[in-house]
Amino acid sequence: MKNLVGYITSSIPDNNFTIDLALSMKEAGVDTLELGVPFSDPVADGPVIEKANHIALESGFGLNDLFEVSSQIGSNMDMLWMGYMNPFFHYGLENFLKKAQEYNVEGMIIPDLPFEESQLVNSLFDKYNKANISFVAPTHSEDRIKKVVENSKKFIYMVAYAGITGSGKAEDLTNIISMVKKYSNTPLYIGFGVDEKTCKEKSVGVDGVIVGSAFVKHLIDDSLSNNEKIAKISSIAKEIKEKINE
C-alpha cells in the first residue's frame, strides 16, 4: 500500500478549520499530514503555496496557532511540520523539538536546511526521536545520494524536478530511484507537481506521494465555502490515494 502525504498551510482561515480539514483528509486516505508553518519567503514553493503563506501571515498567524492546531491533530493522525529554517532558528530548534514531542509530531521538513548543515543539528532530532526528512533531487550525484539517504528516517523526499512546487514538470527518475533504493531501505516518496492527474504515473517505483499545491489551491479559493473546501480537498485526497494503489 503506497502512502499519501498531504500538505496544507496552517491556520487558513483559522485554527478550527485547519483541524477539521486535517481530520477529514485523514478519513479520505491521507496517511501523513504535512502541516505548513507560514513564512514570508518560502523559497521552495510555487505561487499557490506562497500565496497561502502570505494569507496566513496577513491574518496574524503566530507559532501559538501552529501549536494549538497541532495539539488537536497530533494525537489523531501522523503529522510532520514543514517550514523554513528562519522560524525554527528564532524560536529555537530544540524548543520546536520539545513542542513536537509534546504534540506527537513525528518530525520536520525543512527544505532550506542544506544536508551539510543538517548534520550539525541531527543530534537534537535524535535526542527527541524526531525525523529530519532528507531530500534527494535529479541533479544529485550517486555519491551525494548515498550520503543523504544512508541515515534517513521516516521517509526520503524525492524532488520530482529541479524547481519549485506546483510547476508540473516531468523528468525521468528511474536512475535516481534505483540509486536511492541501492543505499537505503527507508520509504521513498515523490513530491513536486503531484496531483490527481499525475499521481499514478509519478508513483511508479516509489513508496508514496507528497501532494501540496493540488490541495492548497482549493484552500485559498475564495469562491468556495469552508464546507466546500473540505469536501473538495478530501475528494481529491481520496482519488489520489485510490489511483496510486490501483
Q: Catalytic amino acids?
A: 34, 45
The 3 state secondary structure assigned to 6-55 is EEEECCCCCHHHHHHHHHHHHHHCCCEEEEECCCCCCCCCCHHHHHHHHH
Give the whole-angstrom CA distance, residue 31 versus residue 26. 6
Cβ atoms of 216 and 7 closer than 8 Å: yes
| 179: amino acid identity, one letter | M
Torsion region of 104: left, alpha or beta (phi above 0 gives left; psi -120 to 50 gives alpha) = left
| 151: amino acid identity, one letter | N
